[in-house]
Structure 1
């Protein structure tokens, strides 16, 4: 019986630690990435960190800013899979896209 409890606890610990996900922009043309970025920022994403004075402004590329914006939107929507589509411009990832000085949220905070 004790081994069953241990197995259940290990399974729960593994499940909890592997549930983090982020939304990132796919490689694509800048116009589609800019459209996803604009939509996310206009629909509730916290885009302050990618403003010129923000900690996630650099690298100053459409793709980097798109990544931050779509992820913020995705997190605010409770990580709903459809909240990370952006007309096919984005996808869910299990890899944390954070960089030095720029932390991507992994929850709605």
Structure 2
């Protein structure tokens, strides 16, 4: 009898305690695609930090996101800054196919990548 009750109640208990889908929105970041050549990333980085309006202050020397000092790391920070700032206005995480969306937080050490989700 006890095993019959557990067989019936256990699935119900799991359903009741499970978090409803969509209750907590996924956090997402826009980062440089690993397969994109550095020259393409540099062009997209220059656009994001210039005309694009990304906040690139933290990837300057002696700032928290300067290291590692690579085009890929700096592009990831700039792409994410731009996308977080403008995604609610229709901006995409594309950058001429140089970027992609991830749900893995790219923050490292003192460098924090923002997310609005």
Give your verdict on TM over 0.5.
yes
TM-score of the pair, normalised by structure 1: 0.81
Does structure 2 conserve the Cα–Cα contact (< 8 Å) formed by 1:21 and 1:79? no
Please identify which structure carries the higher helix content.
1
Cα distance in 1 for residues equivalent to 2:100 and 2:91: 10
Cα distance in 2 for residues equivalent to 1:66 and 1:79: 21
Backbone CA RMSD of aligned residues: 2.5
Q: Give the CA deviation at 1:47.
A: 0.2
TM-score of the pair, normalised by structure 2: 0.76
Which of 1 and 2 has greater Rg? 2
Q: Look up the match of 2:5.
A: none
* Superposed counterparts of 1:1-109, under 5 Å: 10-11=19-20, 15-16=23-24, 18-27=25-34, 28-42=36-50, 43-78=52-87, 83-107=92-116
Aligned length: 102
Inter-CA distance 20–36: structure 2 relative to 1 (3 Å threshold): same
Q: Tell me which stretches of 4 or more aligned residues in structure 1 moved more than 4 Å.
A: 79-82
Unaligned runs of 5+ in 2: 1-11
